[in-house]
Amino acid sequence: MKLIVDSETDKVLGASMCGPDAPEILQGLAVAVKAGATKAQFDSTVGIHPSAAEEFVTMRTLTRRVAAGKPKTNL
23-48 per-position pLDDT tens digit: 999 998 999 999 999 999 999 988 87
Rounded average pLDDT over 46-57: 82
* Distance between CA atoms of residues 29 and 10, nearest Å: 16
User: Would you name the residues annotated as active-site residues?
Assistant: 49
Helix H or strand E segment including 39: helix 39-43
Helix H or strand E segment including 12: strand 12-16
3-state secondary structure of 3: strand
pLDDT, the chain, mean: 86
pLDDT score, position 70: 62
Instruction: Please check the confidence at residue 73 and state whether its pLDDT lies above 80.
Output: no
Give 18 or 52, the one with higher predicted confidence: 18
